[in-house]
Amino acid sequence: MRKLFGSLQAKYMLLIITALAIVQFAYLLSAMLMSGIQNQFETNDSAAVYYDEVEHSWHNDITRLTEINSEAMSRMFEKWSITYPESSMFWVDEQGNLASSWQVSWDIPSYWTSSYTVSFMKERYGGDPFTVVSVVGDQAKRGFAVLEIPRSVFNPPLMKIYDQYGQWLIIGVVLIITLFIVISYLFFRSIRKRLLHLQKAMNNRNGDGLPIPIAISRTDEIGQLENAFNHMVTELNESKLREQEEERIRQELIANLSHDLRTPLTKIQSNAYSLTKLNLPVESEQAVHSLQRSVEQIDTLIENLMSYTLLMSHKYRLEMKDVMMIRFLREHLATWYATFEKADFEIDVSLDGMPEFVWKVDPIWLGRIMDNLFQNVLRHASSGRYIGLKVESKHGYDAIIIVDHGGGMDSPSNESGAGIGLSIVDMMVNGMNLVWSMQSDEQGLTVEIRRTHQ
């Protein structure tokens, strides 16, 4: 039962059923009250319901009077006033004098002429109050008696009830409708408040950027939604922990492999260097040099793999500072100059006469970017035997441009790898809020690193 009424649908249906029950109860109660009041009115009005019955009874009582004087007339007036409390009566004798009156509220004349009497009867005919004029006595003519009753007395009982209690009925109906509206408003406001609270809770994040579980207030549909949200948060946290554990294991594996690989590589490189000191045949000497290049490539790949792992885990330290770019490029290219000359590269440097400009970057990161790009030129564009380095300053940005004549990205290369070097370049460029692009064609590859002026 508790589970049934814990549903929002059940609560809303209960609200509707309660409203209908209140309306029916109010209708039955009103009908019972009106029936009782109607019976009361009908009991009080049983002496006369229609005009002709009142008129007939008045004529009978007046004409049957045996004793005609003020006292007898007053007794008869009193008897009629019991049946009709709102009535008024008076008697004018045969001489036109006002002989007796009862509850007359208007200014009645003390003497009645024939013309005034005719005018009075004409004025009251069909008007309000209902007026009955009857000749007094049966044989001897002793004037006339007048009965006046407000026409509202003859209204139907329901009309009397409405006139007397109509405003209370309207107030009751308005109160019932208002009560239903207020309860409905409170019901839906509670739902809206809980939904807004749920929306706000869904936007809260912890240190890992994941949602925070929320407290389940009730067991209705919204409570089930909150429970499902908490279940999702739990799964996300577990997935995050698994991901972090996998990342930790991967980093440890890469670090261990790098260390384990570098130890034998160092030995191989030392032995190869020792072999170069010997007088070896030409073919053996070429094999030793090839072995040295392979060791250097493997060492570079290991270094790139370590850097890529650190960048992916956001553990590669970034320290931004102002760097004078012309000077930095000259110094960094100088470390590669001998390498390019040894590989018979034409080195085209266009830095002379260029105005010095400053970038806010990490010099270690930028040096690593240049190393990777120069290494790619040596490995993949050696057929062109050309490398160009220049800077460009235009309105809105400064740029570093590296050009080779190796045939572009689509040309086949024996040194092609998994692209870790370019991935490192991309992450480091974006990490320092720089922009880079590559344009490749049959003539070679152009790499541009750009910094927009703030």
At residue 219, the pLDDT reads: 77
Q: Are residues 378 and 445 in the same domain?
A: yes
Specify the pTM. Answer: 0.47
Q: Are residues 435 and 356 in the same domain?
A: yes
What is the Cα–Cα distance from 126 to 106, expressed in whole angstroms?
18
The pLDDT-based confidence of 295 (bands split at 50, 70, 90) is confident
Q: What is the pLDDT of residues 75-99, one digit of tens each?
A: 888 888 888 888 888 988 888 888 8
Token pair of 300, please?
């570079």
What is the Cα–Cα distance from 176 to 174, expressed in whole angstroms?
5
What is the mean predicted confidence (pLDDT) over 212-219?
Answer: 81
The CATH code of the domain that includes 368 is 3.30.565.10
Q: Say if 202 falls within a structural domain.
A: no
Give yes or no for residue 233 having a pLDDT over 80. yes
Q: 321 versus 263: which is more confidently predicted?
A: 321
What is the Cα–Cα distance from 114 to 105, expressed in whole angstroms?
22
The length of the chain in residues reads 454
The pLDDT-based confidence of 161 (bands split at 50, 70, 90) is low
What is the Cα–Cα distance from 138 to 68, expressed in whole angstroms?
11
Give yes or no for residue 166 having a pLDDT over 70. no
Q: Are residues 444 and 361 in the same domain?
A: yes
What is the mean predicted confidence (pLDDT) over 152-170?
Answer: 66
Q: Are residues 38 and 162 in the same domain?
A: yes
Q: Are residues 116 and 238 in the same domain?
A: no
Q: Say if 8 falls within a structural domain.
A: yes
Q: What percent of the chain has pLDDT over 70?
A: 86
Give yes or no for residue 38 having a pLDDT over 60. no
Q: What is the pLDDT of residues 356-391, one digit of tens each?
A: 889 999 998 999 899 889 988 888 888 889 999 999
- Three-state DSSP class for residue 352: coil
What is the Cα–Cα distance from 161 to 309, expressed in whole angstroms?
91
R_g (Cα) of the chain, nearest Å: 57
User: Which residue range forms the structural domain that includes residue 84?
Assistant: 51-154
Q: What angle do CA 222, 188, 178 make, to 5 degrees?
A: 155
**Residue pair 145/73 in contact by the 8 Å Cβ criterion:** yes
Q: Say if 205 falls within a structural domain.
A: no
The CATH code of the domain that includes 298 is 1.10.287
- Range in 28-42, 194-208, 216-230, 410-424 the model is least confident about: 28-42
Q: Are residues 339 and 402 in the same domain?
A: yes
Q: Are residues 161 and 146 in the same domain?
A: no
Q: Are residues 276 and 413 in the same domain?
A: no
Q: What is the pLDDT of residues 387-432, one digit of tens each?
A: 999 998 888 889 999 999 887 776 656 555 557 788 888 998 999 9
Q: 298 versus 239: which is more confidently predicted?
A: 239
Q: What percent of the chain has pLDDT over 90?
A: 13
Q: Say if 371 falls within a structural domain.
A: yes
309, 340, 357 - which closes a domain: 309
Sheet strands side by side (includes 144-149): 98-102, 88-92, 144-149, 130-135
Give yes or no for residue 245 having a pLDDT over 90. no
At residue 401, the pLDDT reads: 93
CA dihedral 21, 22, 25, 29 (to 10 degrees): -170
Q: Are residues 124 and 69 in the same domain?
A: yes
Mean pLDDT computed over every residue of the chain: 80
User: What DSSP string runs through 19-81?
Assistant: HHHHHHHHHHHHHHHHHHHHHHHHHHTTT-SSHHHHHHHHHHHHHT-SS-SHHHHHHHHHHHH
| CB hemisphere CA count around 121 (13 angstroms) | 12
What is the Cα–Cα distance from 92 to 454, expressed in whole angstroms?
115
Q: Are residues 443 and 357 in the same domain?
A: yes
Q: Say if 211 falls within a structural domain.
A: no
275, 309, 343 - which closes a domain: 309
Give yes or no for residue 276 having a pLDDT over 80. no
The pLDDT-based confidence of 51 (bands split at 50, 70, 90) is confident
Q: Are residues 425 and 322 in the same domain?
A: yes
154, 173, 189 - which closes a domain: 154
What is the mean predicted confidence (pLDDT) over 252-271?
Answer: 74
Number of domains in the chain: 4
Give residue 115's identity as a one-letter amino acid code: S
Q: Say if 207 falls within a structural domain.
A: no
Q: 357 versus 303: which is more confidently predicted?
A: 357
Q: Are residues 262 and 146 in the same domain?
A: no
At residue 152, the pLDDT reads: 75
At residue 44, the pLDDT reads: 45
What is the Cα–Cα distance from 400 to 450, expressed in whole angstroms?
6
437 contact partners, CB below 8 Å, separation of at least 6: 447, 448, 450
Give yes or no for residue 46 having a pLDDT over 80. no
Q: Say if 61 falls within a structural domain.
A: yes
Q: Say if 116 falls within a structural domain.
A: yes
Give yes or no for residue 42 having a pLDDT over 80. no
The pLDDT-based confidence of 139 (bands split at 50, 70, 90) is low
At residue 417, the pLDDT reads: 56
At residue 43, the pLDDT reads: 43
